[in-house]
Amino acid sequence: MQLICLESSKRNSGVPTRMLLLMLLLTSGCVSAKLENSERLMSHPEFPAAAQTAPEFTREALKTINRLEYEIERRK
């Protein structure tokens, strides 16, 4: 009788773990990171020098980054 109880408790011990794993898998798609690479680059100490040296290139690079991040975030 005691052996049967041990067998029974072994089978049930995996249920909470499986439920936790299932909950993690189901909620993992809900978490998303905000893409803010343009802001990160503009806060870089060398950004003002880059913007003065190559203003058109810098402007186009930031526009491209923003457009691509928008596409990525829109698909989520």
The CA distance from 21 to 16, in Å, is 9
State percent of the chain over pLDDT 90.
47
**Residue 25 and residue 42 in one domain:** no
User: Do both 38 and 58 map to the same domain?
Assistant: yes
The answer on 50 and 74 residing in a single domain is yes
The pTM of the full predicted model, rounded to 2 decimals, is: 0.55
Q: What is the DSSP letter of 68?
A: H
Structural domain range at position 14: 1-31
Calpha distance 71→7 (Å, rounded): 53
pLDDT above 80 (res 45): yes
> Which among 51, 53, 34 has a CA at the least distance from the CA of 42?
51
pLDDT reported for residue 29: 58
Q: Cβ of 40: how many Cβ atoms within 10 Å?
A: 11
Do 17 and 40 belong to one domain?
Answer: no
21 and 1 within one domain: yes
pLDDT tens for 3-40 read 444 445 555 566 677 766 666 556 555 555 678 999 99
**Do 53 and 25 belong together in one domain?**
no
Say if residue 14 is in the same domain as residue 38: no
